[in-house]
Amino acid sequence: MVYASANMSVMEKRTALITGASAGIGRELARVMAADGWNLVLVARRESKLRELAEELIGSESGQRGVSVQVVPIDLAQPDAARDLVEVLSREDIEVDALVNSAGLGDLSPFVDSDWEKNRLMIRVNVEALTELTRLLVPSMISRGGGCILNLASVASFQAGPLMAVYYATKAYVLSFSEALAEELRPEGINVTALCPGPTRSGFQETAGVEDVPALNNRLMPSAASVARYGYRAMMRGRRVAIHGLPYRVLIFLSRFLPRGVVVRAVRRFQATRSGA
Ligand SMILES: NC(=O)c1ccc[n+]([C@@H]2O[C@H](COP(=O)([O-])OP(=O)(O)OC[C@H]3O[C@@H](n4cnc5c(N)ncnc54)[C@H](OP(=O)(O)O)[C@@H]3O)[C@@H](O)[C@H]2O)c1
């Protein structure tokens, strides 16, 4: 379903595809990008949330300026999801200038007790869908002379994370993949940015089961909107790694000088407060 205000042409505008647009950072990125004149393709499982957002954006000032919003409900954990999504794009004749991979989920539990299905979903959505969608969309960006990719990594990308072992490993993958791709695609005019937020207020805490962990869920955490504004600026400036928040930039820099075991034990203490694991 395409939402567009009828009185203005949308053809000359740039188009961004945003996964994870039904909530949190992805939803805020959609608001920021619509305000900056991007046409949007919104992707997530919860169609009603995507439609609500599309209607909000079309009813807003961005809509009055002719932004169009397309909603594609899809479960990115399904093996054919990325290909199905790209088929929808080609049927609708949509070329993607910016790919924003924000869909993702976490889980807090000792690995040995973890729910395998949740681990599988994390690997599928955080790693496989992000990688396949990028692989499928980059060739058309190259043939049109450029584009942007914004991947949601995390401050968790920089070290191992006991009690969230799989989640941290998926985010290490996203950072490594994004930095490598940024170098490969630079001559093609494609910017790749790994956005690395710390704990941020969103639906993430509930999905990851960390609502009771003070370090991962408190009122001092930044809003998804502030992370989205920062991430969008970083993408537009072509930054390769964008760590949100000065304290995290300092911590990540200093952690390079510490033995890895010390850092990993500190992360475990940081996360263990709920279960005492
Ligand atoms: N919040 C944080 O503390 C934090 C910190 C660092 C990095 N991040 C990263 O930021 C990204 C966005 O997280 P958030 O904080 O915005 O969390 P959120 O509010 O829970 O949003 C997650 C988004 O991912 C989508 N999603 C999850 N599983 C999906 C699936 N199988 N298929 C399609 N879409 C799916 C959800 O949509 P549906 O449920 O509608 O499918 C939702 O739109 C994630 O990659 C996360 O790892 C978050």
pLDDT digits (tens, 9 = 90+) for 259-268: 999 999 999 9
pLDDT value at residue 275: 45
Instruction: Specify the residue for token string 């949740």.
Output: 118
Q: What dihedral do alpha carbons 208, 213, 214, 216 form, nearest 10°?
A: -30
Q: Which position among 3, 171, 173, 232 bears the catalytic label? A: 171
pTM, entire model: 0.94
Confidence of residue 71 (pLDDT cuts 50, 70, 90): very high
pLDDT value at residue 7: 39
- Closest CA to ligand 1's atom 26: 103
Distances (CA, A) of 115 to 108, 109, 129, 208: 10, 9, 20, 12
Ligand 1 atom with the shortest distance to the CA of 216: 3
Q: Is the dihedral of CA 127, 128, 134, 135 positive or negative?
A: positive
Query: With a 6 A CB cut-off, is 274 part of the ligand 1 pocket?
Result: no
For 82, counting Cβ atoms within 10 Å of its Cβ (0-12 exposed, 13-18 middle, 19+ buried), the class is buried
Query: With a 6 A CB cut-off, is 20 part of the ligand 1 pocket?
Result: yes
Bridge partners of residue 84, in order along the sequence: none
Would you say residue 12 has pLDDT above 70?
no
Q: Where are the domains of the chain?
A: 2-271
For residue 248, indicate whether it is catalytic.
no
**Three-class SS of residue 192?**
strand
Mean pLDDT of 40-60: 96
Q: Are 119 and 167 in contact (CB under 8 A)?
A: no
Average pLDDT, the chain: 92
Q: Which position among 3, 49, 167, 173 bears the catalytic label? A: 167
Percent of the chain having pLDDT more than 70?
A: 94
Residue type, 215: A
Query: With a 6 A CB cut-off, is 240 part of the ligand 1 pocket?
Result: no
Q: Which of 105, 166, 195 to mutate to test the pocket of ligand 1 (most atoms within 8 A of CB)?
A: 105
Q: What dihedral do alpha carbons 56, 58, 59, 63 form, nearest 10°?
A: 130
Query: With a 6 A CB cut-off, is 23 part of the ligand 1 pocket?
Result: yes
Whole-number Å distance between alpha carbons of 263 and 159: 7
Mean pLDDT of 213-237: 91
pLDDT digits (tens, 9 = 90+) for 106-149: 999 999 999 999 999 999 999 999 999 999 999 999 999 999 99
Bridge partners of residue 190, in order along the sequence: 147
Q: Residues near 54 by Cβ (< 8 Å), separated by ≥ 6?
A: 1, 3, 40, 42, 69, 70, 71
The domain made up of 2-271 has a fold known as: Rossmann fold (3.40.50)
Would you say residue 277 has pLDDT above 90?
no
Q: Are 184 and 176 in contact (CB under 8 A)?
A: no
Q: Are 151 and 99 in contact (CB under 8 A)?
A: no
